[in-house]
Structure 1
Amino acid sequence: MQEIMQYIPGNGIFHRIHPITKLIFTVILVILAVMTSDPLLLGFLLVVVFLAAWAGGLGRGLTEQIPLLLVLGVMLVFFTVLTMPAGGVLFPLIPTAVPFIGGGLPVTAGALLFGTILSLRFAVMLFAFQLLVVSTKPAELVTTLRQLKMPIDYTLMFLIALRFIPTLQREGIRISEAQLARGYAPGDGLMGKVRGLRPVILPLILNSLGKADTLGLTIDMRGYRRGKAETGSISVGALDGVVLSAALVLAAGVAAIQIIGL
């Protein structure tokens, strides 16, 4: 399984453009996803992200994250249905034949639509950000953020957070394999996967806290101090112009559709 938020070496389109171009592309997609409430437009933006990933040779890495995203999307829709009853009732989660509580927890059209919009919006933002991270070396990303005058403290926190995501993923896999090697059998199916999470979560949290504490002490012992911002110039090429132009055309098209109300 491909590690989440981990740089993937390559020579695709997104590997060859400047990190600032990728940042602008990601910001445009995030803004469009936030400003758009049309499921069709959000689905279109999601397709655009995947087409861009496949064009840059990074489609496989994003595709492997779809099952996880589907689980998160279903959970988001489910909790939205439970907490936001709006619109006409489609069907109850509890069958009417059940005594006393039959017909409870109604699933409404408004809640289902809103949950779907939230899931699509989350997917667009997540995949757009992941496309930025997997196509940019951490050193280049840090240098670009420093050239944009971002404080070094925020840059350091951003980089550490990115590095912790694949680290937690690997640690969780190791703990799960260790539990299975000791004879733990959570069972098959969905409930088996849920039961298999219980002996993993607590050790994972404790190990993460320990790693964070060790990292903080290491940074302090090495004499971390705030440095000056990078002063190098930002130079872009023709390919950067093509990507930026395509992003601006996409933004203008989505904005026009939103204004016209198609």
Structure 2
Amino acid sequence: MSELTFGRYSPFNTVVHRIDPRSKIFFMILLFVAIFLQFTLWSTNLIISGLMLVLLIVVMMISRISFRSLLKSILSMWFLLLFLLVIYVLIPNQTYIYPAFNIGSLTIYYDAFYQWGYIMLRLIMILCTTMILTSTTKPMDLTNGLEWGMGFLKPIHFPAHEIAMTISIALRFIPTILDETNRIMKAQSSRGVDFTHGIVKRVRAIVSLIIPLFVSAIERSEELANAMEARGYDPRAKRTHFHVMHFKLVDLISFLFVIAVFGGVLTLFIIDKNVQVVNIIETLFKVNPGF
């Protein structure tokens, strides 16, 4: 578990690392919007999502992000994926039209497996996008980028800096909590607690893990708060920055590339919806010729 790099900055000197954090945050928002665009045909959804996933994998390779860590992060969501599979497969849905097989009186549909696979593909793309951002951006740069992005709300006294700092600390605490979980699991395993055999035993072991992990998280939070207070941190004070962020040529090139990708996906989405509307209108005219 300690090998997971989700939320952990990787200090490499790649092209993605050199992109301005404000640009990367903007790119992440555009990619999230593109990920959640729903097309009419299954094949279109799978092709568009597959191409976007390939693009994200290429960016991860350029960023030198470990695919082993990505796989471990995906496997850590096994309970959520299993829960979604049960929800989609076993709960009847009137929109399902392609039966696969029957289990007694229960009909299992191909549609259910498609919906589950599509949701899983979206989760993987979201995970990849978030890993790219957190692995290539320093926590303080991420905070400054988020604060800059919400700066237009400051005239109405919106706490932009406080929210940006909270998000940055939360992302930074993910690997810290994972390391602490690994440490507690090793300590409890040395005392005879079994985390590997039997579902019931594993659930009991995880329950015994939650309380010390919760206490440790509170202690770490208190230590961080004391350290920030000792250094005179004041969220309401006017702040300057040692490293001033500047947009560079690499930001312009990456901006044009991401805009081209997002614009292509959005154009296909608009065309898909317009074709659907045209088909509905044509159907109405065929049913009601005198309309």
Confirm or deny a common fold (TM above 0.5). yes
Residue ranges of structure 1 left out of the alignment (5+ in a row): 97-102
- Alpha-carbon distance in 2 for matches of 1:164, 1:174: 15
Post-superposition shift, 1:56? Answer: 2.2
Query: For 1:256, which of 264, 267, 274 is the aligned residue?
Result: 267
**SS in structure 2 opposite 1:146?**
helix
**SS in structure 2 opposite 1:6?**
coil
**Alignment correspondent of 2:282:** none
Post-superposition shift, 1:157? Answer: 0.8
**SS in structure 2 opposite 1:58?**
coil
- Alpha-carbon distance in 1 for matches of 2:177, 2:78: 20
Q: Which is greater in Rg?
A: 2
**Alignment correspondent of 1:34:** 36
Counterpart check, 1:201 vs 2:202 = no
Over aligned residues, Cα RMSD in angstroms?
3.0
In the TM superposition, what whole-angstrom CA distance separates every residue of 1:131-158 from its partner, at most 9, and x where no partner exists?
Answer: 1111011122222233332711101211
Q: Name the amino acid aligned to 1:131.
A: I
**SS in structure 2 opposite 1:144?**
helix
**SS in structure 2 opposite 1:160?**
helix
- Counterparts in 2 of 1:9 and 1:220: CA distance versus 1, 3 Å: closer
**Alignment correspondent of 1:55:** 62
TM-score, normalized by length of structure 1?
Answer: 0.81
**Alignment correspondent of 1:90:** 100
Counterpart check, 1:142 vs 2:153 = no
**SS in structure 2 opposite 1:35?**
coil
**Alignment correspondent of 1:227:** 237
- Counterparts in 2 of 1:190 and 1:34: CA distance versus 1, 3 Å: same
- Counterparts in 2 of 1:205 and 1:235: CA distance versus 1, 3 Å: same
Post-superposition shift, 1:13? Answer: 1.4
Q: Percent identity?
A: 23
**Alignment correspondent of 1:46:** 53
TM-score, normalized by length of structure 2?
Answer: 0.73
**Alignment correspondent of 1:81:** 89
Q: Name the amino acid aligned to 1:139.
A: M
Post-superposition shift, 1:68? Answer: 2.7
**Alignment correspondent of 1:160:** 169
In the TM superposition, what whole-angstrom CA distance separates every residue of 1:1-29 from its partner, at most 9, and x where no partner exists?
Answer: 13321000101111111112211221111
**SS in structure 2 opposite 1:184?**
coil
- Alpha-carbon distance in 1 for matches of 2:202, 2:71: 21
- Alpha-carbon distance in 1 for matches of 2:91, 2:237: 47
Counterpart check, 1:181 vs 2:182 = no
- Alpha-carbon distance in 1 for matches of 2:253, 2:130: 20
**SS in structure 1 opposite 2:100?**
strand
- Counterparts in 2 of 1:12 and 1:255: CA distance versus 1, 3 Å: same
In the TM superposition, what whole-angstrom CA distance separates every residue of 1:94-139 from its partner, at most 9, and x where no partner exists?
Answer: x53xxxxxx45x5434433333222222221222122111101112
Residue ranges of structure 2 left out of the alignment (5+ in a row): 40-44, 152-158, 276-291
Query: For 2:256, which of 245, 249, 258 is the aligned residue?
Result: 245
Aligned residue pairs total 253
- Alpha-carbon distance in 2 for matches of 1:184, 1:113: 39
